[in-house]
């Protein structure tokens, strides 16, 4: 294995660790909310510092690889993709942190009815699945799996679209729960962003493996496996 | 204890002040790149450590150079013993006009080793270390001159490795080679550092980045900056270093 | 006439002038050889090269002169080659740049410029009389040796100088001493060219008359030497004698040409042998 190969392999292992860390932050934030576990929420806040530290480390590693080892072609795209995925992941970490901050702020446990109506749990689960998918796609260099994310993200979009209405309805009947209803709405907005970050990650994965730029393309083109770049 | 150390080294060629008060320490099993524009003293500095500068008339050296804590310019040091411990690879591949086998065995023979099986084993091991064995194992009795430039240079590395030095000095070892051969030499350097301490002079900035752990930037006989290669290549302290590595002068 | 036509014309003219002159040189060589051969080949036969001279050198063979010349070649080389080689090695490999080295080089050149008759006189004074060798093979060999010493020194020096320093440095960097480097690397690499110098010296030694005139050569001695203190006949001197002061110059004219043919053949054979050796060494130590 060449020096560059060794460094790229290390970078990939670090990236997967970053993925795992962020995924666990997201799952923990869900559990903190569902179980209304404020200790768990605090743990997520503490771990966020680790995520930030990891982001800086990966950035530095990428910088060193580019400065010292002059990667080219697929290697260069890989390093560039890692830098971008890295900041996407850090954002997801921020979102998990934000949700846990809400958990600490909310005084009463969320109403079951509210959760069901807004499909918040489903949203958590879906975003977790999507993040898991992009991680697997990154690990296995599976662009088909990466492309599947664009479709799954539509579920998050749909839940997000309906959120205003469902939260509004809930408030009508539970005027004493306005505060937590608004927090719920904010969480939905945040989780919708997780889907967007994952889509960006997918685009970066496809960029480095297939050298195709999918940014700002309509969904139909993104999902087309055989399609020429245009 | 540092593997290699130079303390206030001053070197003059006649009246020309070629090295000005160089202080540097190099750790074991690292690759140190010496960079800088032509005539900056980096090759001269490299040649201090196997005393090749002694071959030039009118050289005067002050200060001290230490390897494993011992001053290599002290009176007790036998120059042949020193050169056995400090191997050197030159800019131009310079195998002797002998067979491939005899080229690698040369250092052993001149150092008084004549045991045939021992020499055979050592030749094979050195050629393997230099990643050349598979290419030459069937033609060890052929002239080394029949090899390609890149192979010749790896042969020269094998020749240096055969006498088991602990330090290897390389003076622009890949500057006369094509890109593929260069990549092979660089990989070799990367692998050899687990067993040897390597100093390499290079004009190729990217090469310094790829192979070295620490980098020393020389300019006009001075050591301008000496730091980890990562630091030098991403955030050098000295503005002169930055200008040089970004290609803005030199 | 445009510039290109003129350039081509000049080019062609120069090419033909150079070519004709070069061919002219070859022509001269061949005419000498042809002249000698046509006149002398008739008398050269087995008896001519294996019999003693008879009848005041007008009949018989030139056997002792051939043997004498071979002895002188061997003797002078035995003396001059090691000394020349070593002093060539010294000046190029050991002597530091400076006055001494320049002085040695200057003196070597001067030595080469001394006329051969002066060597003969010097040899007579030093070896024949001074050291008491008398007219003898040893005195003649030493004198001839002195004559070719500068050639051997010079070629050794030049052949060593032609070897890239990187080979010396490579050897020294492996812990070899200077002597080991010379013996194992530089000298073997220089040898093909040094052999060329040797060939030149052999040609010179076998053809010189003046240095042996007072030191070894016998006018007429129809027997082989038994020790290195004996006199011998030698081909060039024999040739000189029977062409100028023989008992019967006219009678021995064809003998003279025959002797010249033999002399040329000996030099030719030695040259070929040395050339083959040079080629063999050159192949062994080939440098791209």
State the pLDDT at residue C186.
93
Q: What's the token pair of residue B5?
A: 């150390």
- Taking an 8 Å cut-off on Cβ atoms, the answer to whether B52 and C169 are in contact is yes
pTM metric for this prediction: 0.78
Contacts of B228 in chain A (CB under 8 A): none
A3/B211 CB distance under 8 A:
yes
Closest by CA to B156, choosing from B186, B126, B198, is B126
Q: pLDDT over 90 for what percent of chain C?
A: 34
C-beta of residue B15 within 8 angstroms of C-beta of residue B25: no
Instruction: Give the pLDDT of residue A53.
Output: 94
CATH at B203:
3.40.50.300
Say which residue, A2 or B66, is predicted with more confidence.
B66
B233 touches chain A (CB under 8 A): yes
Q: In the complex, which subunits touch A with 3 or more CB pairs below 8 angstroms?
A: B
Identify the pLDDT of residue A225. 60
Interface of B with C in 150-209 (CB under 8 A): 156, 159-160, 163
State the nearest Cα–Cα gap between C151 and chain B, in angstroms. Answer: 26
| Percent above pLDDT 70 for chain B | 100
Residues A185-195 have pLDDT tens digits of 999 999 999 99
CATH superfamily of A3-216: Phosphate transport system protein phou homolog 2; domain 2 (1.20.58.220)
Residue ranges of the alpha helices (H) in A35-177?
Answer: 38-64, 73-105, 112-118, 120-140, 143-173
* B112 located within any domain: no
A138-148 pLDDT per residue, tens = 999 999 999 99
> How sure is the predictor about B229, in pLDDT bands with cuts at 50, 70 and 90?
very high
B79 belongs to a structural domain: yes
Residues of C in contact with B50 (CB under 8 A): 173
Q: Please count the structural domains in chain B.
A: 1
- For A44-58, how does the pLDDT look when each residue is reduced to its tens digit (9 = 90+)? 999 999 999 999 999
Interval B84-95 mean pLDDT: 92
Tell me what percent of the residues of chain A surpass a pLDDT of 90: 60
CB contact under 8 A, C180 and B159: no
Residue B152 lies in a domain: no
pLDDT exceeds 50 at position A229: no
The domain containing residue B240 runs over which residues? 4-94+167-245
Q: Which residues of C touch B (CB under 8 A)?
A: 96-97, 164, 166-167, 169-177, 180, 184-185, 188-189, 284-288
In a domain, B176, yes or no: yes
pLDDT at A226 over 70: no
**B18 in a domain, yes or no?**
yes
| Average confidence score pLDDT of chain A | 89
| A8: chain B residues, CB-CB within 8 Å | none
Output the average pLDDT for chain C.
Answer: 86
Chain A CB contacts of B234 under 8 Å are 63-64, 67
Low-confidence ranges of chain C (pLDDT < 70): 55-58, 246-247, 285-288
Question: Which chain B residue has the Cα nearest residue C288?
Answer: B145
Write down the pLDDT at residue A178: 85
Say if B136 falls within a structural domain: no
A with B: how many residue pairs have Cβ under 8 Å apart? Answer: 27
- The answer to whether residue A45 neighbours chain B at the CB level (below 8 Å) is no
Q: How far is A67 from chain B (nearest CA, A)?
A: 6
Q: Reply yes or no on whether the pLDDT at A99 is more than 80.
A: yes
Chains that contact C by 3+ CB pairs under 8 Å?
B
Q: Does A touch C (3+ CB pairs < 8 Å)?
A: no
- Whole-angstrom Cα distance, residue B26 to residue B3? 6
Task: Kindly state whether residue B131 falls inside one of the protein's structural domains.
Answer: no
Residue-level pLDDT at C132: 86
Q: Domain boundaries in chain A?
A: 3-216
pLDDT number for residue A180: 85
How near does any CA of chain A get to the CA of B242, in Å?
A: 13
Percent of chain A with pLDDT over 70: 96
In a domain, B217, yes or no: yes
Which of the four pLDDT bands, split at 50, 70 and 90, describes residue A230?
very low
Size of interface B-C (CB pairs under 8 A): 73
Contacting residues of B for C169, CB less than 8 Å apart? 52, 55, 88, 90, 94
Instruction: Quick: pLDDT tens for A101-139.
Output: 999 988 888 878 888 888 888 999 999 999 999 999 999
Q: Give a three-class secondary structure readout of chain C.
A: CCHHHHHHHHHHHHHHHHHHHHHHHHHHHHHHHHHHHHHHCCCCCHHHHHCCEECCCCEECCHHHHHHHHHHHHHHHHHHHHHHHHHHHHHHHHCCCCHHHHHHHHHHHHHHHCCHHHHHHHHHHHHHHHCCCCCCHHHHHHHHHHHHHHHHHHHHHHHHHCCCHHHHHHHHHCCCCHHHHHHHHHHHHHHHHHHHHHHHHHHHHHHCCHHHHCCCECCCCCCCCCCCCCCECCHHHHHHHHHHCCCCCCCCHHHHHHHHHHHHHHHHHHHHHHHHHHHHHHHHCCCC
**Torsion from C-alpha of C180, C186, C190, C191, nearest 10 degrees:** 20
């Amino acid at each position: 294995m060449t020096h560059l190969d060794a460094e790229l392999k290390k970078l990939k292992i670090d990236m997967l660790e970053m993925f795992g860390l962020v995924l666990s932050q997201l799952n923990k934030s869900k559990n903190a909310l569902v179980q209304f576990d404020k200790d768990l929420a605090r743990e997520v806040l503490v771990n966020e510092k680790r995520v930030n530290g990891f982001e800086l480390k990966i950035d530095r590693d990428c910088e060193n690889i580019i400065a010292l080892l002059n990667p080219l072609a697929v290697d260069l795209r890989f390093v560039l993709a890692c830098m971008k995925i890295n900041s996407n992941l850090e954002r997801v970490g921020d979102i998990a942190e934000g949700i846990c901050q809400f958990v600490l702020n909310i005084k009463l446990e969320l109403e079951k009815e509210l959760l069901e109506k807004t499909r918040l749990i489903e949203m958590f689960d879906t975003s977790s699945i999507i993040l898991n998918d992009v991680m697997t796609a990154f690990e296995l260099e599976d662009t088909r799996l990466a492309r599947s994310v664009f479709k799954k993200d539509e579920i998050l979009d749909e839940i997000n679209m309906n959120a205003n209405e469902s939260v509004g309805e809930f408030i009508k009947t539970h005027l004493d729960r306005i505060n937590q209803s608004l927090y719920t709405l904010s969480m939905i907005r945040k989780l919708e962003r997780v889907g967007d970050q994952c889509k960006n990650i997918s685009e970066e994965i496809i960029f480095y493996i297939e050298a195709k730029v999918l940014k700002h393309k309509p969904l139909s083109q993104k999902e087309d496996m055989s399609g020429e770049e245009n | 204890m540092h593997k290699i150390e130079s303390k206030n080294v001053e070197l003059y060629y006649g009246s020309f002040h070629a090295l000005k008060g160089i202080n540097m320490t190099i750790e074991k099993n690292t690759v140190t790149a010496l960079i800088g524009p032509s005539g900056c003293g980096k090759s001269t500095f490299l040649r201090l450590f196997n005393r090749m500068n002694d071959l030039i008339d009118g050289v005067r050296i002050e200060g001290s150079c230490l390897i494993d804590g011992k001053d290599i310019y002290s009176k007790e040091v036998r120059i042949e013993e020193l050169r056995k411990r400090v191997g050197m690879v030159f800019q131009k591949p310079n195998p002797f006009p002998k067979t491939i086998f005899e080229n690698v065995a040369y250092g052993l023979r001149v150092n008084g080793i004549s045991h045939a099986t021992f020499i055979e084993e050592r030749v094979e091991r050195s050629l393997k270390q230099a990643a050349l064995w598979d290419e030459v194992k069937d033609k060890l009795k052929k002239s080394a001159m029949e090899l390609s430039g890149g192979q010749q240079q790896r042969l020269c590395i094998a020749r240096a490795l055969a006498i088991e030095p602990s330090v290897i000095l390389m003076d622009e070892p890949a500057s006369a080679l094509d890109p593929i051969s260069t990549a092979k030499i660089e990989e070799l350097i990367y692998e050899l550092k687990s067993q040897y301490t390597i100093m390499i002079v290079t004009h190729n900035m990217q090469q310094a980045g790829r192979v070295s752990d620490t980098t020393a930037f020389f300019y006009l006989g001075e050591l301008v900056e000496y730091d980890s290669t990562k630091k030098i290549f991403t955030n050098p302290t000295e503005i002169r270093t930055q200008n040089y590595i970004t290609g803005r002068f030199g | 006439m445009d510039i290109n036509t003129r350039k081509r014309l000049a080019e062609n003219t120069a090419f033909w002038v150079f070519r004709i002159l070069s061919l002219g040189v070859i022509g001269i060589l061949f005419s000498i050889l042809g002249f000698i051969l046509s006149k002398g080949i008739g008398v050269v036969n087995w008896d001519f090269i294996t019999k003693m001279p008879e009848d005041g050198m007008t009949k018989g063979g030139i056997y002792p002169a051939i043997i004498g010349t071979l002895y002188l070649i061997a003797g002078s080389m035995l003396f001059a080659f090691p000394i020349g080689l070593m002093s060539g090695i010294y000046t190029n490999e050991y002597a530091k740049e400076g006055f001494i080295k320049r002085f040695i080089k200057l003196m070597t050149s001067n030595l080469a410029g001394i006329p051969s008759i002066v060597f003969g006189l010097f040899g007579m004074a030093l070896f024949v009389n001074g050291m008491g060798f008398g007219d003898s093979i040893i005195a003649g060999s030493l004198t001839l040796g002195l004559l070719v010493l500068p050639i051997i020194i010079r070629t050794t020096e030049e052949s060593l100088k032609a070897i890239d320093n990187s080979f010396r440095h490579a050897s020294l960097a492996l812990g070899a001493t200077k002597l080991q480097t010379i013996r194992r690397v530089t000298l073997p690499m220089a040898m093909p060219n040094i052999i060329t110098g040797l060939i030149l010296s052999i040609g010179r030694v076998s053809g010189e008359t003046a240095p042996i005139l007072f030191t070894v050569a016998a006018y007429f001695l129809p027997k082989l030497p038994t020790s290195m203190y004996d006199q011998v006949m030698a081909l060039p001197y024999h040739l000189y004698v029977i062409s100028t002061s023989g008992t019967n110059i006219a009678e021995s004219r064809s003998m003279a040409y025959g002797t010249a043919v033999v002399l040329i053949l000996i030099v030719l054979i030695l040259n070929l042998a040395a050339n083959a050796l040079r080629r063999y060494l050159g192949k062994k130590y080939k440098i791209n």
